[in-house]
Every structure is written in structure tokens, then in C-alpha cells.
Structure 1
Amino acid sequence: MESNEIIIRKAVEADSAKVWVLMRDLAVFERYIDVFAITPEIVKESGFRKNSPDFHCFVAEGNDEIAGMLVYYFLPYTAQNRPAIYMKELYVDEKYRGQKIGEQLMDALKKEAKVNNCGQIKWTVAPWNEGGKRFYERLGAKENNEWINYEWSV
């Protein structure tokens, strides 16, 4: 499939099962499948049926297949008094890689940020994911090593 046949669009409820498959594939790739608790029904409910959805999603579609997805949510309150976007997940199905689909999804997210007056897009990358780091740096993103991530399980 040629990359010009790929359409980037906002996900709709009917995409829930396909988006879930990519979320599961990402959980395998990023080595957290053992704690992955998302189901297709959770995707449908949390992303599309809630009055204020827990997340938003772009999909890359070609030949009636979802080739990739980008999941994000808004951080409404920041020190800059402008919202930011947090990109939670970016994943392109292995058979569609090398067609600039990830770049197209990131471009859609950048447009979404501008439309919503966001000052930044933030995300994290696993330290071992050298391909991911190279991809983001190629787009012009910079590593922020001023902050250290913490977690507190409750």
C-alpha cells in the first residue's frame, strides 16, 4: 500500500475494537502486557461514550484497515496558562511501517494542539526504545531531562 492511500482522521466508536488491538500490540512491544487491563468495551466506553472522554484518538486508515493510532488527552491547566496535550500512545502496525504514518499522525496531533491553543505536546519514551527516540528527534522534538518521572501506586 502506498502512503498516499492513508487517511488520518479522528477515531469513531466503530473503531474501538481495532484501536484496542493496536493498544494491546503496543503493550506487548513496550513490555507491560502483563498489567494491560484495557478491553474493547473499555475503549468504547472511555473514549467515545463518556460525555467528557478519557482520551482522544487519531487513526491512520487505508483499505478499510486501521494501520496506526495516536491516543492523547488534554492537560487543561499549565504554568503557561495554556493547555498542553499529552500523547499517551503512538503505534503503527508492523506491516505498515516505513510509510511515514507515524509522522502523519504526529502532524495531525500538532494541528490539534494549535487549534486548541496548546503550548506544548508532551510524552514519554521507554529508555530502551532507540527507534522511537530517533523518530521523535527527526521530527524536531527535544528530550526534556529537567524532570524525573515518579509513580506512586495506590
Structure 2
Amino acid sequence: MNITIRKAEEKDSEKVWHLMKELAVFEKYIDSFAITPEIVRNSGFKKNPPDFYCLVAEDNDKIAGMLVYYFLPYTAQNRPAIYMKELYVDENYRGQKIGEQLMNALKTEAEQNNCSQIKWTVAPWNKVGVKFYERLGARENTEWLNYEWNLK
């Protein structure tokens, strides 16, 4: 196995969508999952600027993992931040430090763009995810509560 971490390209849209769908099943929101391969293609690659950016872990022609993120251009530190929306590694590739490689590539992306931090959320029931992020040196932010306002 020879894993390469790189920025996703339009030709990866279908494979990235497949991993997004697997993540929706894993995180138990598949019933409201509304993304299609066309949405991935149009929103991530044909739009300028794109709605999201994506890093992939590639093993030959197989996409073994993906990390979706976007920039928060304005923060109180007068520097951008990155918001990591999705991190997912195919079940067949887990335990091989692919998630760590994707996170390190995101850290490099943040540094190259003068970002002040990387932010994300993790479900409290995802104990494996929590341990993974803490092992990387991330810490839970208990100073803020997450809210959402769902619209029709």
C-alpha cells in the first residue's frame, strides 16, 4: 500500500461522494443526507471560489480517506481559520494513520494560509474520534456551546 495525500480534483467527485455517504451512515444522519456526486462536483470544483475544499488519501486509484474543510475568513485574531467539516477513512484502511496524515496535511494548509486555528466538532458518542483528536494534541473547547437553528 502506497498512500498519497493530495488535494482532491474534479475527477474524484464520485469517490469523495461515496465516502461522504459512508460518513452519513456512520454518524447516523443518512436519512437527511442530500448530497449527490453532481453537488460535490459543482460545489467543490466548478464553483469559484468553491464552497469547500477537500484532501484525499489515495491508494493507487482508490480513495482511502477524505477530509473536507472550508475557510473562515474573519476571526477576532484578524487571521483566517479553517473549519474541518468531515474526516472519514474507509473501514478497510483504518489503523494505518491515514487520518493523522490527513490532519497533518490540513495543518500544513492552515499554516500556508496564515490561519490562527483549525476548528471542528465531534459527536460525544464517538469516543474513538475524541481519543484520536486528543492524541494529536487537540483539546475540547468548553468555553462555547454549539447551537443550530434548523430552517425548512
TM-score band, normalised by shorter chain? over 0.9
Q: Deviations over 1:80-138 (max 9, x none)?
A: 00000000000000000011000000000000000000000000000100000000000
- Alignment-derived partner of residue 11 in structure 2: 14
| 1:95 counterpart = 2:92 | yes
- The Cα of 1:63 is off from its aligned counterpart by 2.1
Q: Deviations over 1:25-70 (max 9, x none)?
A: 0000000000000000000000000011000000000121000000
Of 20, 30, 37, which aligns to 1:23? 20
* Structure 1: distance between partners of 2:98 and 2:15: 16
* Structure 2: distance between partners of 1:99 and 1:63: 16
Name the SS of the counterpart of 2:104 in structure 1: helix
Of 96, 106, 109, which aligns to 2:106? 109
| 1:77 counterpart = 2:50 | no
The residue type equivalent to 1:149 in the other structure is: N
TM-score, normalising length from structure 2? 0.98
Runs of 4+ more than 3 Å apart: none
Of 61, 70, 81, which aligns to 2:58? 61
| 1:45 counterpart = 2:42 | yes
Name the SS of the counterpart of 2:34 in structure 1: coil
Structure 1 residue runs without a partner (length 5+): none
Give the number of equivalent residue pairs.
Answer: 151
The residue type equivalent to 1:45 in the other structure is: N
TM-score, normalising length from structure 1? 0.97
